[in-house]
Amino acid sequence: MQFHYALVDDLLTREEFERRVEEKMEACGDLVDEVTAAMMVVQDLGRHHVKIGRLGGKQSLFSFFGKVIAKNPPHEFERPDGEKGLVASLVLGDETGQVRAILWDEKAAASHDIETGDVLEVIGKHAGRNRGEITVMAMRPAPVEISGPSEVAPYLSPPRRKDIAVVVIAIGEARKVSRKDGSEGEVVEMVIGDGKCITRMVCWAPELMEGIVEGASFRIRVALEKYRKSGPEYSIDEKSIVEPSEEEIPVALDPLDSIAGKETCSVSGTVRSCQPSRSFSTRDGRTSSVRNIVISDGTADAKVVLWGDHAKTPLLPGEAIALYLCSVRQAKTGENEVHAGRGSLVRVLASSPVDEEIAGDVVVTGGATYLDTGSDCFLVTGKDLPHGHRVTARVLRMGKRVSVLSWTENVPDRDELLARCDRFIGLAPGTDTFTPHGREDICR
Tell me the three state secondary structure of residue 108: helix
> In the predicted model, is pLDDT for residue 324 greater than 80?
yes
Pairing of β 217-228 and β 401-409: unpaired
Pick from 278, 281, 285, 270: which is nearest to 306 by CA? 278
Domains within the chain, CATH numbers bracketed: 2-152 (2.40.50.140), 160-244 (2.40.50.140), 256-348 (2.40.50.140), 354-409 (2.40.50.140), 414-443 (no CATH)
**pLDDT tens digits, 48-67:** 778 888 887 666 778 888 99
Q: Is residue 286's pLDDT more than 80?
A: yes
| Long-range pairs of 369-375 with CB within 8 A, sequence gap ≥ 24 | 371/402
> Which helix (H) or strand (E) element contains residue 23?
helix 14-27
- For residue 32, the SS3 value is coil
Q: How far apart are CA 207 and CA 211, in angstroms?
A: 9
pLDDT (0 to 100) of residue 208: 87
Q: What is the pTM of this model?
A: 0.63
Q: What is the per-residue pLDDT for 351?
A: 75
DSSP characters over 133-160: EEEEEEEEE--------SS--GGGSPPE
**Nearest CA among 278, 206, 194 for reference residue 237:** 206
Stretch 168-189: mean pLDDT: 79
Whether residue 366 is predicted with pLDDT greater than 80 in this model: the reply is: no
Extended beta strands in 21-61, E state: none
Q: What is the pLDDT confidence band of residue 285, given thresholds at 50, 70 and 90?
A: confident
- Run of H or E including 289: strand 287-296
For 63, counting Cβ atoms within 10 Å of its Cβ (0-12 exposed, 13-18 middle, 19+ buried), the class is: buried
